[in-house]
Amino acid sequence: MTTADGRPWWRGAVIYQVYPRSFADGDGDGIGDVAGIRSRLDHLAALGVDAVWFSPWYPSPMADAGYDVADYRDIDPVFGTLPEVEALIAEAHARGIRTIVDVVPNHCSDAHPWFQAALAGGPGAPERDLFWFRPGRGPDGDQRPTDWVGEFGGETWTRTTNPDGTPGDWYLHLFTAQQPDFNWDHPMVRAEFEDVLRFWFDRGVDGIRIDSAGLLVKDGTLPETRPDQPHPFRDQDGVHEIYRSWRRIADGYPGDRALIGEVWMPDRQRFANYLRPDELHAAFNFDFLGCAWDAAAMRESIDGTLSAHALVGAPATWVLSNHDVTRHVTRYGRADTRFSFATKREGIPTDLELGTRRARAAALLSLALPGAAYVYQGEELGLYEVEDIPYALRQDPMWERSGRVDPGRDGCRVPLPWTGDEPPFGFSPDGAAAPWLPQPADWKDRTVQAQTGDPNSMLELYRAAIRARRAEPALGDGELSWLPAPDGVLAFSRGGGFRCLVNLSDAPIPIPADGELVLASGPLDHGLLPADTAVWLRAAPHGSDPS
């Protein structure tokens, strides 16, 4: 399953992220499901994406919206059934769309049978070795085994109660208390996940997205975190052996099956280690996602990304949003356009018109850069972060765990608007329960229906850009050469006469006269490229394009 030019698909694909709870609701309970996804596959085909990544849909108590998995080989009834998923995979393939499932190997749900057996077995039960059970510190064992701070903030250990009712050992959870961490030093854990990979590859999926890929291995001596020491649970060297064994499994299947890691790693060199030829195929580029809307910062991020990937021969990825971060229409409309979990993320003055203009330019930028591009559902509709979800309706554990300081991630997970003038905007069938999160009334202008056929809409821009990308042999995987450009402007060639110009300055700049316009992210101004606007150009048939 390579592309027409013989390169594996994952090197240059456009990959669309479906967040199943919020994509489309087929059965009318107000929560998206597999039936809903199947009913809307034509949207993905019309958009022209190469592959779809489905966030978790496994049986789960939903303490972390399904990233707390109770059974890795089945589907939660709220989403549907395994036969429905098998049908979805086949239907996507019939439309030429590859499929990627999300595997969560760092932790499971506290409802997972292994963890239930570990609790029921009491101290010394062999099932406890599959997790991180430890006695507490202090004479009564009532102090946590370490002071590690979790990935959602807050404590990382929860004390258990013994089967006889006495206070027992503690267990480790880097996320919520309902997400116990597996002990990856245990061979059963390794064998289990190798089998889970096979289970999904046997069902024909083309790729696996690996959740929290850098966290699996812990320093079993449980040291406290120290700036001058390797981190006890982030990016431990031992994690690479796991991905080498996973790569052998992926390579053992026909076609190009891809492993795509969620690796948050500021150090680009260490990030690239995950992409060595015998490890993962690709990893999400959070450096670019978090980068400010600023030409110098963007250029540094792009160059840093490309040189780190070149070291290991891996394709870069370009990601603007996902289900964990503030939507980029909102981010780019603020004074500080960077993304970080550590900074204030809500209640900040936001110019959505500016954010939308920049998001349109960012779409052309990210789809023109070398490598694979990711589209998070709703970004093709220009959706913004919903910041006024009433407190009582917020569901993301980040919100409560942070003492309601962090707004949580519900604002980027609001159900998609498809049709009509009022909620649920075709998300659910008529007469259904209200969507699980409320949709803003002004999304009536952002439905798929409202945008279809409107040449100025975000949706038609994405459709046109993805279509042009498919038609343009130089796009996707390949090389980039920077072109001379005024300050505040990114200009590069992809070869074959294709050029991309993005104006991040606040003044218009001339567009080179020797190119034919393929696409513009916004109106041009008499041969000038306005601020926060991007264009794609190709050499005019008889022009003298230098690229």
In the shown chain, the binding pattern of residues 506 to 535 toward ligand NOJ, with x for contact by CB under 6 A and - for none, equals: ------------------------------
CB of 324 to ligand NOJ, least distance (A): 5
The sign of the dihedral angle between the CA atoms of 366, 363, 151, 178 is negative
Instruction: For residue 424, say if its preceding peptide bond is cis, omega within 30 degrees of 0.
Output: yes
CB of 320 to ligand NOJ, least distance (A): 15
**Judged by CB, which is closer to ligand NOJ: 169, or 406?**
406
Site for ligand NOJ in 47-66 (CB under 6 A): 64
**Judged by CB, which is closer to ligand NOJ: 127, or 324?**
324
**Judged by CB, which is closer to ligand NOJ: 323, or 331?**
323
Cβ(142)–Cβ(135) under 8 Å? Answer: no
CB of 325 to ligand NOJ, least distance (A): 9
Site for ligand NOJ in 260-289 (CB under 6 A): 262
**Judged by CB, which is closer to ligand NOJ: 256, or 262?**
262
**Judged by CB, which is closer to ligand NOJ: 103, or 298?**
103
Q: How crowded is residue 67: how many other Cβ atoms within 10 Å of its Cβ?
A: 25
Site for ligand NOJ in 80-139 (CB under 6 A): 104
CA distance 70 to 14: 30
**Judged by CB, which is closer to ligand NOJ: 48, or 59?**
59
Which residue blocks in 217-258 are alpha helix, DSSP H? 239-251
The sign of the dihedral angle between the CA atoms of 455, 459, 464, 467 is negative
Position with the least CB separation from ligand NOJ: 67
CB of 183 to ligand NOJ, least distance (A): 17
Q: Which two tokens stand for residue 245?
A: 């064994």
Query: Dihedral, CA atoms, 289, 293, 297, 303, nearest 10 degrees?
Result: 50
CB of 369 to ligand NOJ, least distance (A): 23
CB of 22 to ligand NOJ, least distance (A): 13
Site for ligand NOJ in 447-486 (CB under 6 A): none
**Judged by CB, which is closer to ligand NOJ: 212, or 273?**
212
Angle at CA of residue 61, ends 57 and 65, nearest 5°: 55
Residue 504, strand partner residues: none
**Judged by CB, which is closer to ligand NOJ: 209, or 469?**
209
Cβ(183)–Cβ(174) under 8 Å? Answer: no
CB of 114 to ligand NOJ, least distance (A): 17
According to DSSP, residue 241 is labeled H
CA–CA distance from 247 to each of 106, 250, 275, 349 (Å)? 17, 5, 11, 45
**Judged by CB, which is closer to ligand NOJ: 67, or 72?**
67
**Judged by CB, which is closer to ligand NOJ: 212, or 457?**
212
**Judged by CB, which is closer to ligand NOJ: 157, or 175?**
175
CB of 460 to ligand NOJ, least distance (A): 29
CB of 179 to ligand NOJ, least distance (A): 7
**Judged by CB, which is closer to ligand NOJ: 175, or 384?**
175
Q: Which of 57, 72, 170, 175 binds ligand NOJ (CB under 6 A)?
A: 175
**Judged by CB, which is closer to ligand NOJ: 23, or 175?**
175
Cβ(437)–Cβ(413) under 8 Å? Answer: yes
Containing 37, the helix (H) or strand (E) segment is: helix 34-39
- One-character DSSP codes across 117-151: HHHHH-TT-GGGGGBTEEPPBSTTS-B-S--PBPT
Angle at CA of residue 385, ends 100 and 16, nearest 5°: 20
Containing 199, the helix (H) or strand (E) segment is: helix 187-202
- Does 67 contact ligand NOJ by CB under 6 A? yes
Q: In what order do the strands lie in the sheet with 167-172?
A: 133-134, 167-172, 157-161
Task: Tell me the number of residues near ligand NOJ by CB under 6 A.
Answer: 9
Angle at CA of residue 349, ends 151 and 446, nearest 5°: 85
Q: Which of 60, 99, 212, 439 binds ligand NOJ (CB under 6 A)?
A: 212
- One-character DSSP codes across 41-75: HHHHHHHT-SEEEEPP-SS---TTTT-S-S-TTS-
CB of 176 to ligand NOJ, least distance (A): 8
CB of 323 to ligand NOJ, least distance (A): 6
CA distance 459 to 453: 9
CB of 104 to ligand NOJ, least distance (A): 5
Site for ligand NOJ in 335-364 (CB under 6 A): none
Cβ(180)–Cβ(115) under 8 Å? Answer: yes
Q: Which of 27, 84, 127, 211 binds ligand NOJ (CB under 6 A)?
A: 211
CB of 373 to ligand NOJ, least distance (A): 18
Site for ligand NOJ in 235-264 (CB under 6 A): 262
Binding site for ligand NOJ (CB under 6 A): 64, 67, 104, 175, 211-212, 262, 323-324
